Amino acid sequence: MPSQVLTKGANVSLTKLMPTASEITIGFSWKVIESAGFKTEVVPCAIACGQDGKAVSPEHVAFFNQLEAAEGSVQYQSDGTLSGGDDEQIDINLKSIPSNITTIAFVLYVNPDLRDPGTLESMRSGAVRVLDRAGNEVLRYDVTSSDTVGVSALMVAELYLRNGEWKFRAVGQGYTNGVKDVAEHYGYDK
Amino acid sequence: MSAPLSFITRRPPRQSSAPAVTGAKLSLNAAVIKPPAEEKEKSTKRNRIGNGFVLDNDHRMVTLTKLQSATGSLKIKFENAGGLADALWELHDGTQGDQKNIPLDAGKRPIFSINGNFDEVIIGLRHVRALRRLVFYTYPGVKVSIETFDGQILTCGDNLRLLSIYQLNGELYLRYSGSQFASREALTSTLAFNKV
């Protein structure tokens, strides 16, 4: 099955595209322009949300320091072993996602170190993709340069439930104030 | 400033759950630090940081969430320090040092930075799992406050002498102590900073 490349805003029904798949992997890749100074450190995360579009709790955010979310249905793999050169991977078990989770947002953010953190403008070749359990790329969204202008966080894509189908949408929505904006938007800042 | 250390990697080992920590020196019990009798733990309740929380002799430990422990930086203000503070650090591999030889992480930032005349300390959290513990020794009259990336602030009681920050399974534990030490040697010896 050839991979589909999504444009910003496009969505695909995973339930129809991969009817037998219970587990998928979301792969993230990027490059950062190197400089002699501090490095801009990009972090991917997955935010499991309820019907109100908010994170169910701060524990529903999977990232490098919180490897599981949504009762283990979302698992961050810091050195994902599936093929394709991803920098980080997050495994999703579609069958075990709790019923109160209707959206999982995938975000890339710059770690907001107080010492010159940088922005996503220094990121190149950013991409998010959906893989099957064999490591075959099924869907892909390539982050565009316009997505990252002036932002420190980017909601690259989301997995969401509509009428019993899990769908994957390329989003490309930036956040000027980075992960602080993301936490506020998804309601896990308190 | 030293070159980036190869053992501070961007990625923690692959595993389905947080790694176990076996280092004996990381013990949060009294094996390493024997508090005076009047500083016995008042409670085993796990405190969480929140605006207005005071870390003092009655509330000697607070735990940051995994988000707070690994997002952005931890900012510690030492008001009126005037240079009167000491810092000791230990990485997960047992490497130790003080403020004169702070190593760089994989992002090419010092694991913590001291600004001004020890007025402020910035601790980078992206590679927090490489850190085992940080200890700051302060002196009378120094007011200490700590701020997380999400704007949560806690203040420390006026009698703080030793602020210890331990990393355990990706969570940062902040510990208050009023213990005083006769000398720097007594401090490093008591806290098992033998390699400093």
Best of B115, B128, B150 to mutate (most A CBs within 10 Å, chain A): B150
Chain B residues inside the 8 Å CB shell of A80: 14
Q: Which of A59, A67, A180 sits opposite B16 (nearest CB)?
A: A67
In whole angstroms, what is the distance from residue B87 CA to residue B96 CA? 11
Which is more confidently placed, A178 or B5? A178
Q: B33-42: string of b/e by CB count within 10 Å (b at 16+)?
A: bebeeeeeee
pLDDT digits (tens, 9 = 90+) for A35-57: 889 999 999 999 999 999 999 99
B72–A64 CB contact, under 8 Å:
no
- The whole-number pLDDT of residue A80 equals 64
Chain B residues inside the 8 Å CB shell of A39: 106-109
**Closest-approach residue (CA) in chain B for A88:** B11
User: What is the DSSP code string of chain A?
Assistant: -PPEEEPTT-EEEHHHHSTT--EEEEEEEEEE---SSPPP-EEEEEEEE-TTSSBS-GGGEEBTTB-EETTTTEEEETT--SSS--SEEEEEEGGGS-TT--EEEEEEEE---SS----GGGEEEEEEEEE-TT--EEEEEEPPGGGGTT-SEEEEEEEEEETTEEEEEEEEEEETTTHHHHHHHTT---
In whole angstroms, what is the distance from residue B143 CA to residue B156 CA? 7
Chain B residues whose C-beta is within 8 A of a chain A C-beta are 10-18, 65-67, 69-73, 75, 106-109, 113, 122, 124-126, 128-129, 149-150, 170
A58–B126 CB contact, under 8 Å:
no
**Closest-approach residue (CA) in chain A for B151:** A189
B107–A38 CB contact, under 8 Å:
yes
The set of residues, in sequence order, having a beta carbon less than 8 Å from that of B61 and lying 6+ positions away, is B28, B41, B46, B47, B55, B173, B174, B175, B176
B122, β-bridge pairs: B75, B113
User: What is the DSSP code string of B144-164?
Assistant: EEEE-TTS-EEEE-TT--EEE
| pTM score | 0.86
- The whole-number pLDDT of residue B35 equals 45
Residue A146 pLDDT exceeds 80: yes
Task: Give the ipTM.
Answer: 0.92
pLDDT digits (tens, 9 = 90+) for A60-100: 999 999 999 999 999 999 776 677 789 999 999 999 999 99
Chain B residues inside the 8 Å CB shell of A67: 15-18
* Angle (nearest 5°) at CA B56 between B194 and B50: 110
B76, β-bridge pairs: B121, B146
Nearest 10 degrees: Cα torsion A149, B148, A43, A132: -120
Residue A127 pLDDT exceeds 50: yes
Which residue matches tokens 């793999």?
A77
User: What is the DSSP code string of B66-112?
Assistant: HHHHHSSEEEEEEET-TT-EEEEEEETTS-EEETTSPPB-TTSSBSE
A115–B149 CB contact, under 8 Å:
no
- The whole-number pLDDT of residue A85 equals 83
pLDDT, tens digit only, all 196 positions of chain B: 444 443 343 344 344 444 444 443 444 443 444 444 444 444 445 777 776 789 999 999 999 999 999 999 999 999 988 887 899 999 999 999 999 999 999 999 999 999 999 999 999 999 999 999 999 999 888 999 999 998 899 999 989 999 999 999 999 999 999 999 999 999 999 999 999 9
Could you tell me the strand order of the sheet in which A153-162 lies? Answer: A11-13, A165-175, A153-162, A103-110, A42-49, A61-62
A66–B16 CB contact, under 8 Å:
no
**Closest-approach residue (CA) in chain A for B109:** A38
Q: Is A189 on the interface with B (CB under 8 A)?
A: yes
B121, β-bridge pairs: B76, B114
Instruction: Give, rounded to a whole angstrom, the gap between the first and last alpha carbons of chain A.
Output: 44
Q: Which of A80, A113, A179 sits opposite B124 (nearest CB)?
A: A113
Q: Is A188 on the interface with B (CB under 8 A)?
A: yes
**Closest-approach residue (CA) in chain A for B51:** A190
Q: How many CB pairs under 8 A join A and B?
A: 85
Chain A residues inside the 8 Å CB shell of B126: 41, 43, 111, 113
In whole angstroms, what is the distance from residue A116 CA to residue A37 CA? 9
* The two three-digit tokens of residue B187, written as one number: 């401090």
Shortest CA gap B147–chain A (Å): 12
Burial level of A125, CB count in 10 A (0-12/13-18/19+)?
exposed
**Which of the 8 DSSP states describes residue B129?**
G
Q: How many CB atoms lie within 10 A of CB A1?
A: 9
* The two three-digit tokens of residue A152, written as one number: 């420190």
Chain A residues inside the 8 Å CB shell of B150: 180, 183, 189
A58–B67 CB contact, under 8 Å:
yes
In whole angstroms, what is the distance from residue B22 CA to residue B19 CA? 9
